[in-house]
Chain A
Amino acid sequence: MSKKSIYFNVLMKQKLETLKEYLYLLKQNKLTFVALIIILFLVIIAIIAPIIAPFPSHIYGDVNPQDKLLAPSRVYFLGTDEVGRDLFSRVLYGTRISLLGSLIAVGIGLLIGVPLGLMAGFYGGFLDEFIMRIVDMFLSFPPLLLAMAIAAFLGPSLQNAILALIISWWPWYTRLIRGQVVSIKEREFVRAAHAIGTPSWQIMLKHILPNCISPIMVQASMDLGGIILTLAALSFLGLGAQAPTPEWGLIINTSRTYFLKAWWYSTFPGMAIFITVLSFNLLGDGLREVLDPKTKKY
């Protein structure tokens, strides 16, 4: 066998081993495991929502006024809203919106925040000062207020709400990673890489980043939940998704008027938010436990 094929074989085996190890560790913590299952479940729902929804047309468009505000039944599992739309179908589809929205927000937030934090920590000096002062500015606003202001400025819509969240969230990652980078760059293996002549960008990407990714992963997984909540809050306040989008926060907003008459209307989307956010929080906690003792080994 050529050296190359040996190399790939061993590498694949190793990656599998690491994956097995991670899963084993995650399984140890029962709550985290349950959270993981729930999230997987939610992801599947998000993907197949339009297919399994009993009344797909109710998701966006069709109104059905004769069936308005019906209690949960065998036809309408979670009841209907004030224009007769099936709540179950809408809440199901809302999963897709929330998960996708938070994934985009966190993803792009990381793409902006992490490189900036890496550079600020690594180069120090003026660049560090400059970036961190901007981060400080952003972080002095309560995130929800900041998101609200931006969303109001850009005009209320789901996309603008997500944009507002990206802008409010990236500084957290920068600050988080910069602190890590500052301490890791003093480590001897970084000095060794300098002494070898490795270019700075390689040092940042291949040496420093892998060693400070854990807190970012923990924070990001908890943020996935946090962003869903904030997105719902924005929509609740009218600054995010607009009717007829079946976003959970928006549904709860419209349900306010019918709160006493139709308990199901606000309860089920609320529960959906609760379960989703809780699962992400538990996952984040579990990840922290998994990743920390591992780094203790090093």
Chain B
Amino acid sequence: MNQAALAIKNLKKYFPVYSGFPSRVRDWIKAVDGVTLNIKKGETLGVVGESGCGKSTLVNTILRLEEPTSGEVILEGKNVFCLNKKEMSQLRKKIQIVFQDPFWSLNPRWLIKDIVGEPLYVHLNLSLGELLSKVEKLLEMVGIPKTALYKYPHEFSGGERQRIAIARTLALEPNFVILDEPTSSIDVFSQTQILELLKKLKEGFNLTYILISHDLSVVKSMADKISIMYLGKVVEYGPAEEVFKNPVHPYTNALFKAIPNAGTKDINSIIALEGDVPSAINIPSGCRFHTRCPVALEICHKKEPPVVKLSKEHEAVCFLLEKSKKGESLL
């Protein structure tokens, strides 16, 4: 049984809202409000959610680009937040990130060789020749020709830039890679290429991925496990196939039904949810989804729902499921 390679334990990140003169903290934006996830080595975890669900904050906090309010992130046995600067710098080699925007994630005034070589330059003491060789090899791995070394990002298409970003991500041979909407901003031809490349690299280097995407087809094609986030919490988690076939949480169900896909040709088949996403400052009482839930019960207004296990690895946070012993979808 694989040990959890990356364990996130009850992670919380609140942002203070200042107001008044002299500035006092009036409110908190509860961007991430108690997330617990376990990722096994070699797995791809898909994180799905709409804007405001906290996935970007989650990513930033895991990478310690933000300090958490509470909770732990255990990477290969060590708590990320307990490391000092030096140890943190060493750890950064192990977990890397590919950003959504292939344009702005590369410094427009830097040459490709400097962009891809930066991690090597910062962490390793290589001679210029060694560094250039390594950069060439990395670019080759992602299918970019050597001539790119002396070019600028704007000379490449979106898909190519994303591949350069991936080359940079792999420079220090990380074990974990966070993919933050890797294909959202590129054209349809490059999307499949990039996904195929990511799959190849994962197998070749035994990587563990955290894939964040709002595009369900991308998640379907890559993820082993999937977690659905809403307003800072995970509402459903399980093996991707199972969750797609049988979404049990009302939000997951609404999310899947709201997205037009190849099957739907009729506008009446997509489901619109009433109301808007509540603000993260005023999180609804009880189950945070109850304000928009089409099947909310009395108790959903008052108490926070428990985690209900539906199978060995499939769980969701909902009172409705508790009621039904078999855990069948009541929708």
Interface residues of A (CB under 8 A from B): 2-4, 7, 10-11, 14, 187-189, 191-199, 202, 207, 210-211, 297-298
Contacts and interface: CB of A to CB of B under 8 A. Distances in A.
A189 B106 CA distance: 5
A187 B104 contact: yes
A218 to B, nearest CB: 17
B101 A188 contact: yes
Contact of B150 (A10, A187, A188, A197): A10
A271 B305 CA distance: 82
Contacts, number: 71
Interface residues on B, range: 20 to 34
Nearest to A8: B128
B123 A3 contact: no
Interface string B86-111: 00110011001101110011111110
A195 B118 contact: no
A194 B107 contact: no
A195 B92 contact: yes
- Could you say which of A11, A191, A207 has the most chain B C-beta atoms within 10 Å of its C-beta? A191
Given A3-B128, A4-B129, A195-B65, A189 B107 contact: yes
A211 B108 contact: yes
12 contacts: A4-B129, A187-B104, A188-B105, A189-B104, A192-B165, A193-B107, A196-B119, A197-B88, A197-B119, A210-B109, A298-B108, A298-B153
Interface string B273-303: 0000000000000000000000000000000
Nearest to A197: B92
Given A10-B150, A192-B105, A198 B132 contact: no
A210 B63 CA distance: 26
B129 A2 contact: yes
Interface string B137-164: 0000000000001100110000000000
Contacts of B119: 196-197
Contacts of B153: 298
Shortest beta-carbon contacts, A-B, top 10: A197-B92, A298-B108, A188-B105, A3-B129, A189-B107, A188-B104, A3-B132, A210-B109, A196-B119, A10-B150
Contacts of B104: 187-189
A245 to B, nearest CB: 43
Contacts of B329: none
Interface in B195-249: none
B133 interface: yes
A190 B303 CA distance: 42
A191 B101 CA distance: 12
Contacts of B107: 189, 193, 207, 210-211
